Structure 1
Amino acid sequence: MTTLAAPYRPLAGMFWMFTAGLSFVVMTALVKSLGPSMDPIQAAFLRFVFGLVFLLPALRLVLTTHLTRRHLVLFGTRGIVHALAVMLWFFSMTQIPLAEVTAMNYMTPVYVTLGAALFLGEKLAFRRIAAICVALIGVLIILRPGFREISPGHLTMLGTALALGGSYLIAKTLVRDLPPSVVVAHMSIWVTIALIPFAIAVWTRPSLHDLGVLFLVASFATAGHYFMTIALKAAPVAVTQPVTFLQLIWATLLGALVFHERVDIWVVAGGSLILSAVSFIAWREAVLNRSSLTTPSIAPKL
């Protein structure tokens, strides 16, 4: 018997990645719209509580999948790491403009590339090292240390991207043994559990409006991940990756038109440089067909 390969549909892949990016930007804008009305940690917890609703279709598979002690340790570790990333990201949203959050989130695949070399034994070729250096220059262009004040939001966004990279690497280890849907479902469950004590510490009674906004956040996050999955099935990351640049454009426009944030050309330039570096890495791996390597993929995985 022969297995038919999935059809190669680059235009469809680019369209679904465009839709995914739009969903993620709307999600980010909705979080931004909460403003100071709710503590970021409580908002993060409620977002994941609502997100559990979308796991119901996979519940049977989750319950019937055999897990070893090693799997449980990895799931628990990932839950703590990802919970940290989520809390830092929600805090960053209250501190810095949408465009800067989006641009600095592009660093996640760079951290993943470095982590795969350090912890998973993947080869770090010269081209990857050069691309990483270019991405770091992009970060310096965004932050411009010495030329403007670096706020706590910038530091927490760097921490967000680093923690998300760690979460991705643990997920890469888990999917070697388990179905991706089980890994995603357990991530949501364990992150929700990890956020409980932090949410209790800052808990205030949420308004119906805030609850409605957070349910929409969970909905758009789920839709974004679903569309991204469809995109990656239709075309390789090397094709769909450049489309994610549009996230920065939408975030810049939304920030300016809805939240009256100043358009910072340095943020756009730095974000473009980071994305170009990540896209180059993805393209090189596609050319070399090194499927065993961790190909970077941009998405705020929140």
Structure 2
Amino acid sequence: MVKGIILAFLAFAVFAWGDAIVKEIGHDLDPFEVTFFGYLIPLVLSPVFMKPGDHVLDIVRWNRPWLMGLRVFLIAATTPLSVMAFRSLPFAEAFALLFLMPSLVTVLSIFILKEHVRWRRGLAVCAAFIGVLVIVRPGFKELLPGHFAALSAAFCAAGGVIAGRMIGRTEKRFTLISTVFLATTVLAGVLMIPGFAWPIGHQWILLLAFAATAFAAQALFIVATIYAPADRLGAAQYSQILWALAIGALFFDEWPDALALLGIVIVVAAGLFIFAREQTLKRSRQQADPLPETMPASPTSVSTQN
């Protein structure tokens, strides 16, 4: 268990550094172009995630095509939206808005999965939205396109989680992973055409570094799930906000003011509380019904490599 938790923290640290690379390169290249090259190499390398019995064609063999199509589209849209957010917002602020995702998952669960949400989680969701208002402060500071991009990315990521829960265990792990790489590459490849500019020397280095982090972080998290259940590792993703604060201050000279820090704390605390409550409720259901669940909820990173 401990080894799995350590690997999960390491995976999310790599995710955070990948997002820092995105922020660095995002000012010079079209966000869709950054996404395309960043996911092309992981797509080529995705067969390493295959298990005995898997086939490369499983990437397009879906047992539940409509739900899989919706899931891969939503997750594919998350990455370029996140790139847009990172290029125009302070690093930690963008992360905090993306961390609204767990609260949005709770809201969507009520309407789509017909899940009953008790008052504690309801209050946590309200607190998360209040935290976002504290960070953004509409009417008191300029609303940038990055704010809307970050919120849209959080919504798409939440929709992808809900679709994943509806899919359950009907698809292979390789299919779930590789389709994200494939869909993100294809979607970004089409959308990058109008603003395409051929990368120059140092940009190629950054693009390759981003691709390496996208692949390495995913691989580290998969190895972590060998040693600990995936749903126990989700809280590790909140360590990204610490990396974001440190990287933003040290490399981008971004120092959040007191209100921004307060909003970040509120959003992260609300997300952690929702995660803890979901774990408690899941254990209660397992004790009441010892049969394995058919639709386990695996954590999804809110980073661009999601």
Residue number among 76, 80, 83 corresponding to 1:90 in the alignment:
83
CA distance in 1, matches of 2:195, 2:181: 21
Quick one: structure 1 residues 64 and 161, their matched pair in 2 at CA, closer, same or farther if it must change by over 3 Å? Answer: closer
Residue number among 99, 110, 132 corresponding to 2:125 in the alignment:
132
The RMSD of aligned alpha carbons is: 2.5
Tell me the residue number matched to 1:212: 205
Tell me the residue number matched to 1:25: 16
CA distance in 2, matches of 1:38, 1:183: 29
Report SS of the residue matched to 2:171: coil
Residue number among 36, 55, 62 corresponding to 1:61 in the alignment:
55
The percent identity for this pair of structures is 27
Tell me the residue number matched to 2:181: 188
Quick one: structure 1 residues 117 and 294, their matched pair in 2 at CA, closer, same or farther if it must change by over 3 Å? Answer: farther
Determine whether 1:163 maps to 2:134.
Answer: no
CA distance in 2, matches of 1:246, 1:187: 23
The structural deviation recorded for 1:295 is 7.0
The structural deviation recorded for 1:33 is 1.2
Aligned length: 292
Quick one: structure 1 residues 145 and 202, their matched pair in 2 at CA, closer, same or farther if it must change by over 3 Å? Answer: same
Letter of the structure 2 residue corresponding to residue 76 of structure 1? G
5+ unaligned residues in a row in structure 2: which ranges? 287-292
Trace 1:194-273 onto structure 2 (pairs within 5 A).
194-235=187-228, 240-273=233-266
Tell me the residue number matched to 2:105: 112
CA distance in 1, matches of 2:190, 2:26: 22
Deviation sequence 1:133-152 (CA, Å, 0-9, x none)? 11111111111223222211
Contact 2:76 2:187 in 1 (8 A): yes
Tell me the residue number matched to 2:29: 38
The structural deviation recorded for 1:79 is 3.3
Contact 1:142 1:271 in 2 (8 A): yes
The structural deviation recorded for 1:243 is 4.1
CA distance in 2, matches of 1:219, 1:13: 21
Residue number among 270, 273, 278 corresponding to 1:280 in the alignment:
273
Contact 2:39 2:214 in 1 (8 A): no
Determine whether 1:49 maps to 2:77.
Answer: no
5+ unaligned residues in a row in structure 1: which ranges? 1-8
The structural deviation recorded for 1:83 is 3.0
CA distance in 2, matches of 1:124, 1:295: 19
Tell me the residue number matched to 2:166: 173
Quick one: structure 1 residues 275 and 63, their matched pair in 2 at CA, closer, same or farther if it must change by over 3 Å? Answer: same
Deviation sequence 1:36-81 (CA, Å, 0-9, x none)? 221111111111212212212246534258835x633333333332
Contact 1:41 1:91 in 2 (8 A): no
Contact 1:50 1:214 in 2 (8 A): no
Contact 2:154 2:302 in 1 (8 A): no
Report SS of the residue matched to 1:277: helix
Quick one: structure 1 residues 190 and 244, their matched pair in 2 at CA, closer, same or farther if it must change by over 3 Å? Answer: closer
Which TM-score applies when normalising by structure 1?
A: 0.86
Residue number among 127, 137, 142 corresponding to 1:144 in the alignment:
137
Report SS of the residue matched to 1:94: helix
